[in-house]
């Protein structure tokens, strides 16, 4: 029997993280004790209120039935309250869709709006779902290069009118994985005007909304007047509440966009496990203490890592959001060869920048999701191995 995969799979770029997993497995098979700073899986635990709600829901027979396509009313109410409280945006119940994690939501959203041959505008470097998801629909991502000197913000003013008019979607995500870049209100105002001028759908992936430092709270794109005319915003409980494995998120915004996403999802899934949704409802109601302690923990990790790397020759600025560091590789290395060098010489694993698009070449990403002690140990191992930045 001849087995042929769909052509859409052949169009996907090489998944660098699969190669990285093999490298880590090979090193561990040799007995290496790797400090793994590759995957952005949060180190903080979910709120105790969420865990208690999950346990209680597991004992309710109704939790084990199929979920409602419309979502749990209590969760949707909690989302609306959360958006008002945290981001000063007014969201109505029919402007919310519950997701099996925001990654699932993004993939299904692209499926709902992109046809083969369509184009969309995607800043790079960026979370892979924003360029891999569209490829699976047969669409073509048009790269908007971003660089450090411009704060990793795309220059919307210089995009050719014919390209902007042809595109269907502009995808943004601030704070950004992997660069940890943030965007000011003025940028979002410009993005909304740009989307309206060129009849674009504006996606904002807001997964790191609550992972910020020094009081520099990121803004919601939907807080810009008129943004709801064109925008859908994706939120995740993974990063905010340490619930990555629970697979729960939500999207809010333009009702027509929300309804199209709901339409796709009713044909492809039944929504998240009901007990998880009950736990998510509890999480959205926790007090500020939980979030403040979470942010303080990651700020300590950030400071340990940045100060340590700068002592080895880097000149990194302390990012104001996320738990990532976007680190240039030393002279004589590319992203992948430096990853292998770190792994072989220092038993430290990080992610190659090319996993976030071709423009990530020359960088690696440190995910600061280990303990303070492990992060300090990673720096110590690099120092002992003679690994320094030489420009």
Closest CA to 195 of 150, 223, 232: 232
Q: How far apart are CA 85 and CA 223, in angstroms?
A: 12
Q: Which residues 6+ apart lie within 8 Å of 51 measured at CB?
A: 279
Q: Residue 31: which pLDDT band, with cuts at 50, 70 and 90?
A: confident
Give 55-120 as a DSSP string.
HHHHTSGGGGSPPPTT--HHHHHHHHHHHHHHH-----GGGEEEESSHHHHHHHHHHHH--TT-EE
Average pLDDT over residues 97-111: 96
Average pLDDT over residues 240-251: 96
In this prediction, residue 214 carries a pLDDT of 95
Q: What is the pLDDT of residues 334-376, one digit of tens each?
A: 999 999 999 999 999 999 999 999 999 999 999 999 999 999 9
Q: What is the pLDDT of residues 1-18, one digit of tens each?
A: 778 888 888 787 767 777
Q: Which residues 6+ apart lie within 8 Å of 312 measured at CB?
A: 379, 382, 383, 387, 388, 389
Average pLDDT over residues 229-245: 97
In this prediction, residue 364 carries a pLDDT of 97
Label residue 10 exposed, middle or buried (CB < 10 Å: 0-12, 13-18, 19+): exposed
Q: How far apart are CA 131 and CA 104, in angstroms?
A: 14
Domains and CATH numbers, the chain: 7-45+289-384 (3.90.1150.10), 48-283 (3.40.640.10)
Label residue 272 exposed, middle or buried (CB < 10 Å: 0-12, 13-18, 19+): buried
Average pLDDT over residues 103-107: 95
Q: How far apart are CA 232 and CA 329, in angstroms?
A: 35
Q: Are 360 and 145 in contact (CB under 8 A)?
A: no
Q: What is the pLDDT of residues 300-347, one digit of tens each?
A: 999 999 999 999 999 999 999 999 999 999 999 999 999 999 999 999
Model confidence, pTM: 0.95
């Amino acid at each position: 029997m001849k087995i042929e995969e769909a052509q859409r799979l052949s169009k996907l770029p090489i998944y660098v993280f699969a190669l990285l997993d093999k490298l880590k497995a090979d090193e561990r098979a040799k007995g290496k004790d790797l400090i793994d700073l590759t995957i952005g899986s949060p180190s903080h635990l979910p709120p105790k209120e969420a865990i208690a709600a999950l346990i209680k829901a597991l004992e309710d027979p109704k939790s084990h039935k199929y979920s409602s396509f419309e979502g749990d009313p209590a969760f949707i109410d909690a989302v609306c309250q959360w958006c008002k409280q945290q981001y000063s945006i007014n969201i109505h119940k029919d402007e919310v869709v519950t997701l099996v994690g925001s990654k699932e939501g993004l993939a299904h959203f692209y499926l709902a709006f992109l046809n083969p041959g369509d184009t969309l505008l995607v800043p790079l470097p960026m979370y892979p779902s924003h360029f891999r998801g569209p490829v699976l629909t047969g669409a073509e991502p048009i790269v908007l290069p971003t660089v450090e000197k411009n704060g990793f913000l795309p220059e919307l003013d210089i995009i050719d009118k014919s390209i902007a008019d042809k595109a269907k979607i502009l995808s943004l995500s601030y704070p950004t994985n992997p660069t940890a870049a943030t965007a000011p209100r003025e940028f979002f105002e410009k993005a909304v005007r740009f989307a309206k001028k060129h009849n674009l759908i504006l996606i904002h992936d807001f997964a790191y909304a609550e992972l910020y430092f020094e009081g520099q709270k990121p803004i919601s794109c939907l807080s810009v007047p008129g943004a709801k005319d064109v925008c859908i915003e994706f939120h995740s409980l993974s990063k905010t509440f340490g619930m990555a494995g629970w697979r729960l998120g939500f999207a809010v915004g333009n009702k027509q966009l929300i309804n199209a996403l709901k339409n796709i999802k009713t044909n492809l899934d039944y929504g998240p496990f009901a007990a998880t949704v009950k736990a998510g409802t509890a999480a959205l109601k926790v007090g500020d203490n939980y979030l403040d302690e979470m942010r303080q923990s990651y700020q300590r990790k950030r400071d340990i890592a940045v100060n340590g790397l700068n002592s080895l020759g880097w000149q990194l600025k302390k990012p104001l959001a996320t738990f990532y560091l976007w680190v240039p590789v030393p002279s004589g290395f590319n992203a992948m060869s430096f990853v292998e060098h770190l792994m072989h010489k220092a038993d430290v694993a990080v992610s190659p920048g090319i996993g976030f698009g071709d423009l990530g070449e020359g960088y690696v990403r440190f995910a600061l999701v280990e303990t303070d002690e492990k992060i300090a140990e990673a720096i110590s191992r690099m120092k002992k191995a003679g690994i320094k930045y030489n420009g």
